[in-house]
Structure 1
């Protein structure tokens, strides 16, 4: 069992550092009152070529939209990580809490990696207060998506949040 994945998003340096210490150049960072947007290429991964993510601290989620390579397409629109998101002036930090949600707009919402979450709590990698917080976030997210017809944008609009994506057409725009 791996410890929670911690990433940093260094806006000042234009890099994203993953949990293994790999530094990746970021094409665009964009701040909004509700969060931080990141867009970068994915290097060395056969299935995907690009990722765009919104870090939303108040909601405890990271919303990602992937550009899949031919033959690796997935029937999904958004991938959400339940995470602690710590904003900073120049560097943001996230701690992934194992629980993930996949959304196919207007069709369905699916929760993933509950088994990893349970194991992380059982082995002490996630303490009980953090586990409870993560479960509350998961419950809020899935309930809100269900109420809004599995439409992430519709739910976020009720919170005053509008996510914008790359405009070059390489990724799906919402």
Structure 2
């Protein structure tokens, strides 16, 4: 398995841009800052999806995403959650994300799925993720999995954790 460093992104609210881990800067249609996180909505130049919505939720260690897929790609997926460290705004009004490899996939009618566990172990073995970070990533994922199971679904659990409703452009 080829292991890559943790993916890092910058969400530049004043500039209305999102810089991905490869350095590509994309315009953002909407940013919304709340006491519990940052919402972003932007178009995407990806062959599988044309629009991306994300909520950075620092206190939960999660980034919740809705990918608006093109026809024929994962039409059953509702939410995709990245586990990592999310924080902001910094002194320049920017938010930052570090993806710790683990992901949760929400498909209606199925249990919330945890994926990329092998990547966490490979990154830790390669020295790209500390033991503390790998442990925290695991704890975040387990908390979300058990919370979603107890609440009935991940969206209900997320809403309860932030004390409100995570609003999406088209609903989760």
Q: Which range, TM-score by smaller chain? A: over 0.9
The match for 1:117 among 112, 117, 120 is 120
1:158 Cα deviation from its structure 2 partner: 2.4
* Matched-pair contact (CA < 8 Å) for 1:28–1:38: yes
Which structure 2 segments of 5+ residues have no match?
A: none
1:48 Cα deviation from its structure 2 partner: 0.5
Q: Which residue of 2 aligns with 1:169?
A: none
Tell me the SS of whatever aligns to 1:72. coil
1:137 paired to 2:140: yes
1:105 Cα deviation from its structure 2 partner: 3.8
Equivalenced residues, count: 167
The match for 2:105 among 102, 106, 131 is 102
RMSD: 1.2
Cα 1:163–1:106, aligned 2, differ >3 Å: closer, same or farther? farther
Tell me the SS of whatever aligns to 1:74. coil
The match for 1:162 among 141, 149, 165 is 165
Residue pairs, 1:18-167, within 5 angstroms: 18-43=20-45, 45-89=46-90, 90-105=93-108, 107-149=110-152, 151-159=153-161, 160-166=163-169
Q: Which residue of 1 aligns with 2:11?
A: 9
CA distance in 1, matches of 2:83, 2:5: 15
CA distance in 2, matches of 1:68, 1:79: 12
CA distance in 2, matches of 1:85, 1:98: 13
Cα 1:143–1:40, aligned 2, differ >3 Å: closer, same or farther? same
CA distance in 1, matches of 2:99, 2:164: 22
1:106 Cα deviation from its structure 2 partner: 5.2
What are the Cα deviations for residues 126-168 of structure 1, in whole angstroms up to 9, with x where unaligned? 011111111110110111011122x1221123221311011xx
CA distance in 2, matches of 1:98, 1:87: 20
